[in-house]
Amino acid sequence: MLKSLHVSGPETSCKICDGPASLYGVVDFNKNCLERENVFPVLSGVPVYYYRCENCGLIFSRAFDEWTHADFQEHIYNADYARVDPEYAEIRPQLLADMVFNFIKQAGPLKVLDYGGGAGRTAELLRGKGVAAASWDPMTSAALPQGALFDVVTCFEVFEHTPTPLATAEDALRLLDSKGVLIFSTLTADELPPRAIHAWYIAPRNGHITIYTKAALKVMFEKFGCTVHHFSGNVHMAYRQLPAWLAPQRA
């Protein structure tokens, strides 16, 4: 039985910029990313509402605001999760490890943390390539790693999953050296029209509960003194100060 979701009114404030947000649409809890491939789930009968911020365009739900990590584990990141995200366990970690390795291989030895790395497969693959990589996941680990800061923090498929985007960004950045870079993925939604709740990426069963625009990412990371660079609509980088190994390429 799905735990009752938080119900809120037609208006709320944006989780990033605090601007006014009204309801954007409603989908069934079981809506998931496989619908892009014409695989449609049995519906649950549980509605999940999303808002959109009038200022920064953030699309977000408040339905999960009172869920604990245990609730997420029970209802979303459970044994059936692999069915709605079949690439999660192996295919994506391989692609991500290759991407990170290619990005940093000219830099010399760097310390890498994969934040939100699940079972730690991406970091394991990076270690196999000789990179000093560790993994940490807020869903399964209690306290943040203490002490050492990292040259690169990766944050793949994390930000769309958090009900608290500012707290997640702050956590990830806390682990970053002042001249480190945060490399993250999340598919931006700048081009979505006013009624696009059926877009494939808006998918509560996959845990996609906070969808960003480039403007929303800019506002979010500026709060922490960071600049955002977009490699694509899906892969981005945030930094306070570009490290020497990146600066010459970008001068």
Nearer to Zn ion, 97 or 219 (CB): 219
Nearer to Zn ion, 53 or 175 (CB): 53
Cα gap 225→241, rounded to integer Å = 9
Least distance between Zn ion and beta carbon 19 (Å): 4
Using CB under 5 A as the criterion, which residues of the chain lie in contact with Zn ion when the complex forms? Answer: 14, 16-17, 19, 53, 55-56, 58
Cα gap 174→192, rounded to integer Å = 32
Nearer to Zn ion, 44 or 55 (CB): 55
β-partners of residue 155 are: 184
**Residue for token digits 């845990």?**
207
Nearer to Zn ion, 17 or 199 (CB): 17
Show the tokens assigned to 168.
């997640």
Cα gap 204→207, rounded to integer Å = 5
Neighbouring residues of 155: CB distance < 8 A, sequence distance ≥ 6: 115, 116, 172, 182, 183, 184, 185
Nearer to Zn ion, 61 or 154 (CB): 61
Least distance between Zn ion and beta carbon 161 (Å): 18
Nearer to Zn ion, 174 or 223 (CB): 223
Nearer to Zn ion, 150 or 212 (CB): 212
Largest CA distance in the chain: 55
